[in-house]
Structure formats: structure tokens, C-alpha cells
Structure 1
Amino acid sequence: MLQGEVKLARGLIGSVLAGALRAQLWKGLGKWLRFLRAD
């Protein structure tokens, strides 16, 4: 039972981290696009 909970928690943390990383990536991409357009 504990093993399953650990796996679940790991998956949850992983998905949250992946989401945050993706958000940062999109933010950076938007910044770059604006920078290129301004040029």
C-alpha cells in the first residue's frame, strides 16, 4: 500500500514539475518572439 502511495506522489510531483517547466518554456518562447518581432 505504501509503495503505491509513493508511486502516486512521485507521479503527481513529476507532472507538476513538468507543467511548471512547460510554462517557463512557453514564457521564454513568447519573450523571444516579441524580441524578434520588435527587431
Structure 2
Amino acid sequence: MKRFAIRAVVTDIEGTTSSIAFVKDVLFPYARERLADFIAS
């Protein structure tokens, strides 16, 4: 069996761990604001 190094885990938290409003109003803008720098690094 082949083993792969895990480099990322993508999860869907909207409505599961946090309210949809919190995700939309807080987390999405936070991520959007920092995504370019994160990808560049």
C-alpha cells in the first residue's frame, strides 16, 4: 500500500461547528483578506 504525506485537510464547518452567519460574516472575510499572502508563502 502506498503512503502519502498529508499536506492539507479541507473541512466544511458552515453550520456544523459555527453558525452560517459567523462563517459568512467573519471567517470568509478573514480568509479572503489573508489568502494571497498565505498562497505566496
> What is the TM-score normalised by the length of structure 1?
0.35
Please identify the structure whose Cα radius of gyration is greater: 1
> What is the TM-score normalised by the length of structure 2?
0.33
Question: Which structure carries more relative contact order (alpha carbon 8 Å, separation 6+)?
Answer: 2
